[in-house]
Amino acid sequence: MSNPIKESTLERWIQNQMKVWESEKKIIEKEEKPRPFITISRQYGCFANDIAEEIAKALNATTTNNKWSVYDKNLINKIEQQYNISEKIVETIDTRKREEMSELWRTMLADLPPQAAVFQKLASTIRTIAIHGNAILIGRGSVVITKGLRYGLHLRFVAPLQYRIQKVMEYQKIKDRLAAEKLIEEKDKQRHEFMTQYIKFNAYDPASYDITINVAQFTKEQVAQISIAGLKVRKLI
């Protein structure tokens, strides 16, 4: 999902995925081992989407069932903004998990203003996707929203500023280095504010993640293999 997708195609994908989740609902309930998921937090300019797609590609090359999918900001927002879809997605997990999730939000969001309901809908969508498993969730506070789900691997991608400036200039077709640096500063600030607006979470704390990777030192294929090794060490796959 790293490339732009037509609205109609995106909606069809969401509807098809919901049908899969609904059909697998009872199967997942009976499985002894929960299906794993990955969350990715990143500094702007690390281009996590490309790496996430590489991780999914590598994982799917070794399995014929339960294919891995990437959920980026655009896809998650599309699901969350359509209330009826967001509600139906939550209904694809069993009653016990829905009740546990409701209790978690009551505890986490108890002291927040009414507008926190918007964040709750987003959080419910992300947590439901994680519960279904075989998902790679990029950003949107997924590392803290999935707190307590023991079968997740939480990654953090970082890189030196000069590396990120160069990448942003290449990807965004920006010729001015100062403009690229300013964009990075703004985006990193926006992400930090998103994480602290509704939840007290320090995205810069390395202890919040299982693995922090300096992506400037590796190819995307190598980062994918490091990530998969993390899944194996944790015995998640």
Identify the residue whose tokens are 């294929």: 221
Residue range 118-127, pLDDT digits in tens: 677 778 888 8
Residue 25 lies in a domain: no
Residue 163 lies in a domain: yes
The answer to whether the CB of 105 falls within 8 A of the CB of 124 is yes
Bridge partners, residue 39, by sequence: 137, 154
Tell me the range of 22-36, 47-61, 105-119 where mean pLDDT is highest: 47-61
Q: Distance between CA 209 and CA 224 in Å, rounded?
A: 16
Residue 1 lies in a domain: no
Neighbours of 35 (CB within 10 A): 18
Q: Distance between CA 80 and CA 120 in Å, rounded?
A: 10
pLDDT score of 3 more than 50: no
Output the 3-class SS for 156-179: EEECCHHHHHHHHHHHHCCCCHHH
CATH for 215:
3.40.50.300
Look at residue 57 and give its three-state secondary structure. helix
Residue 2 lies in a domain: no
- Compute the average pLDDT of residues 117-146: 85
Residue 28 lies in a domain: no
As given in the structure block, the two tokens for residue 196 are 């602290």
Percent of the chain with pLDDT over 90: 44
Identify the residue whose tokens are 């009826």: 84
pLDDT of residue 140: 83
Residue 88 lies in a domain: yes
Which amino acid is located at 232 in the chain? K
Residue 26 lies in a domain: no
pLDDT score of 41 more than 90: yes
Number of domains present in the structure of the chain:
1
Residue 195 lies in a domain: yes
Sequence-distant (≥ 6) Cβ neighbours of residue 156 within 8 angstroms? 40, 41, 42, 206, 208, 209, 211, 212, 213
145-149, 151-155, 178-182, 218-222: lowest mean pLDDT where? 145-149
Q: Distance between CA 131 and CA 28 in Å, rounded?
A: 9
Domain that holds residue 57: 7-19+33-233
Q: Does residue 187 or residue 203 have the better pLDDT?
A: 187
pLDDT score of 235 more than 70: yes
The answer to whether the CB of 58 falls within 8 A of the CB of 97 is no
